[in-house]
Structure 1
Amino acid sequence: MENKIFTLTIGIPAHNEENNIGRLLDSILRQKKTNYKLIKIVVICDGCKDNTAKIVKYYSKKYKFIELINDGKRMGKPKRMNSLYANNKSDIFMSVDADIVLEGQNILEDMVECFSDKKVALVGSNDKPISPNTFLGPMVVNWIKYWQYTFRSINNWVNPFNCTGRLIAMRNDFVNKLSVPISFAADDHFIFFKCQELGYKFKYCPSAIVYFKVPGNLSDFINQSVRFGKSGNKIRSYLGSWTDKYYHLSKKRKYLSYFKWLFYHPIKFPFALGLQFIVRLYSLFRKFDTPTGVWITAK
């Protein structure tokens, strides 16, 4: 029996990503396609004020399956993506952030292969941070790597930390049931828990490596960290306390991870912890919510 060839649609929400959108599209176009047929790539410009739309339009003239949506409005990622979810006809839909780059040529193949298990409806990628050329960058990278090292294996790898919105793949019957509340700008955790709530299976694909650049200044890092830190509480209030187990980390595991990371990174990690102290102090005194799903973007 021949292996199934899946149809695939890719959705890319973008806000002022002129510096990376071309690199992202190039990294998608060079992917091998042995187990899927790429139907279209839809890039949605969400209130772009730069040359993002112009760059995508150039690609769309060369590759007819690349489609640009540019209405000049700033609506936020959840509202933009919900329209694509509802109208998807492909077997697989992938949501791809515009500020990443795919490593190698087998990323999409590896993720699509996970759907050979008919119970799988959601697949997460392996996002790796890279540092901008700033003083703060290496410390931010160190903190993210510590966080990933500590939390990713929770619940046998089935947890929201492995479902990052930078690149996720979803089966169509799940996508068509998905509608993310517009206040969830950090939509990836909501998607993970909706998958669990509906009885579908999640799978983490460690070989699907994508790179993203971390915030290079303190203001952007604080905004991003507070958004991420508050997502668990928001999920709990919206979906219920059953979600808590997917965030739970034993004290033993937490402290072992902490001291091991400190041993291997005796200089960078203390600075990274200092940054987290600033973030937590800041979050105590500022209400951080986005009823429209539109976040302050990194500069």
Structure 2
Amino acid sequence: MIPRLPKVIVAIPAYNEAANLPSLLSALLSQARPNFILLGIWVVSDGSTDDTVAKAQSFGHPVKTFAGRTRRGKFYRFNQIAARFNADILIQIDADVLITSDLTLSRLVSRFQKPAPPDLVSAYHLALPPVTGVEKAAYFGFRVWDHARVSLGEKALRYYCEGGLRAFSARFIHQFRLPPFPTSEDSYSFYYAVTRGFKVAFAPGVRVYIKLPSTLADYVRQMTRFLSAPDLLARSFPESVLRRYEVITPWVKITSFFAVFIASPLIGLSYIYLQLIARINKLFYRPRAAWDISPSTKTVSL
């Protein structure tokens, strides 16, 4: 049972996030707290070599900084957070995202204060408007993806479970750990939950913004990782379970593609070209526990 005023910890795994971290921390500290008690904001540095730790430490209480000396990857740092967690709700937010409402945290928490509360709640992840040519092609792909999942309604719950901003119940987080091998960590948390009887929910009114890659190298790096997700998840969950929730069929992809392509045919062709490069690159991809970083996605602003 979640208390009337649950105690909340916000955790930020961070690797070389000095550029965006101060603005994110300022946004988090300005959040309204009508329905929860904020115990702390944890910044967990994964062996950062820039000013991430110094930037975090400059804020003082309730921001608490954990400075890992070596780079171990987000999975390792998330598991450290889970092991230390001692509250009612854990809100995990990536350092390279943007929140624009001072009710973001409150709305996430409110999902746990309803009858039959969930154990995992995901925010609505949206892409910032594009600027460069590569960003425009990437944004085209995002619009196709978003069109597909929106068209499927509640059946598309799995596709909204993204890792930039999520909230977990204490019941869930005391059991859940990410594996010691590479996988798609946001999808892994979803499948872990549904295969163990936990309840998953989506909060469409809680919006978080991500920066799309602005260079070809970053796009290929990021997209190759996304394309590898199904193969990685197959190591951990039965094929029957994966098929049950993989409801974006080839037909849904095609209809969504043309719905977006009609309005932006030239950008659509650029997107196809970038996809071909990423799919060829996937043939040679060997995932690591510490993902390769896409630097052009790290400075986030409207």
What TM-score comes out, normalization by structure 1 length? Answer: 0.92
Match of 1:130 among 128, 131, 134: 128
3-state SS, counterpart of residue 59 of structure 2:
helix
Q: CA deviation at 1:251?
A: 4.1
Find the aligned partners of 1:156 and 1:26 in 2 and give their Cα distance.
34
Task: Determine the structure 2 residue equivalent to 1:89.
Answer: 86
Find the aligned partners of 1:233 and 1:152 in 2 and give their Cα distance.
25
Query: Equivalences for 1:1-299 in 2 at 5 Å?
Result: 4-60=4-60, 64-115=61-112, 116-131=114-129, 133-152=131-150, 154=152, 156-184=154-182, 186-241=184-239, 242-284=241-283, 286-290=284-288, 293-299=289-295
In structure 2, relative to structure 1, the CA distance for the partners of 1:83 and 1:230 (3 Å cut) is same
Find the aligned partners of 2:255 and 2:285 in 1 and give their Cα distance.
33
3-state SS, counterpart of residue 289 of structure 1:
coil
3-state SS, counterpart of residue 182 of structure 2:
coil
1:164-205 deviation per Cα after TM superposition (whole angstroms, max 9, x unaligned): 110000101000100101323531111111110111111111
Q: CA deviation at 1:18?
A: 0.9
Q: 8 Å contact 2:184–2:232 — kept in the other structure? A: no
Q: 8 Å contact 1:132–1:215 — kept in the other structure? A: no
Q: 8 Å contact 1:158–1:203 — kept in the other structure? A: no
Find the aligned partners of 1:29 and 1:185 in 2 and give their Cα distance.
32
Specify the code of the residue in structure 2 equivalent to 1:235.
L
Specify the code of the residue in structure 2 equivalent to 1:47.
G
3-state SS, counterpart of residue 67 of structure 1:
strand
Specify the code of the residue in structure 2 equivalent to 1:276.
Q
Q: CA deviation at 1:158?
A: 4.9
Find the aligned partners of 1:32 and 1:215 in 2 and give their Cα distance.
31
In structure 2, relative to structure 1, the CA distance for the partners of 1:295 and 1:178 (3 Å cut) is same
Find the aligned partners of 1:99 and 1:191 in 2 and give their Cα distance.
20
Specify the code of the residue in structure 2 equivalent to 1:52.
T
Q: CA deviation at 1:276?
A: 0.9
Specify the code of the residue in structure 2 equivalent to 1:236.
A
In structure 2, relative to structure 1, the CA distance for the partners of 1:121 and 1:153 (3 Å cut) is farther
3-state SS, counterpart of residue 267 of structure 1:
helix
Would you identify which runs of 4 or more consecutive aligned residues in structure 1 move more than 4 Å?
A: 152-155
Q: CA deviation at 1:79?
A: 0.7
Q: CA deviation at 1:146?
A: 1.5
Specify the code of the residue in structure 2 equivalent to 1:107.
T
Specify the code of the residue in structure 2 equivalent to 1:297.
I
1:229-257 deviation per Cα after TM superposition (whole angstroms, max 9, x unaligned): 11122112211111222113244433221
1:75-124 deviation per Cα after TM superposition (whole angstroms, max 9, x unaligned): 10011111111221211101110001112111111111111243410001
Any unmatched runs of 5+ in structure 1?
A: none
Find the aligned partners of 1:228 and 1:81 in 2 and give their Cα distance.
20
Find the aligned partners of 1:133 and 1:258 in 2 and give their Cα distance.
21
Q: 8 Å contact 1:77–1:185 — kept in the other structure? A: no
Any unmatched runs of 5+ in structure 2?
A: 296-302
In structure 2, relative to structure 1, the CA distance for the partners of 1:117 and 1:266 (3 Å cut) is farther
Q: 8 Å contact 1:152–1:162 — kept in the other structure? A: no
Find the aligned partners of 2:57 and 2:250 in 1 and give their Cα distance.
51
What TM-score comes out, normalization by structure 2 length? Answer: 0.91
RMSD: 1.7
Specify the code of the residue in structure 2 equivalent to 1:124.
S
1:120-149 deviation per Cα after TM superposition (whole angstroms, max 9, x unaligned): 100011111125643311211221121122
In structure 2, relative to structure 1, the CA distance for the partners of 1:236 and 1:196 (3 Å cut) is same
Q: 8 Å contact 1:157–1:204 — kept in the other structure? A: no
3-state SS, counterpart of residue 8 of structure 1:
strand
Specify the code of the residue in structure 1 equivalent to 2:45.
C
Alignment coverage as a number of residue pairs: 291
Specify the code of the residue in structure 2 equivalent to 1:289.
P
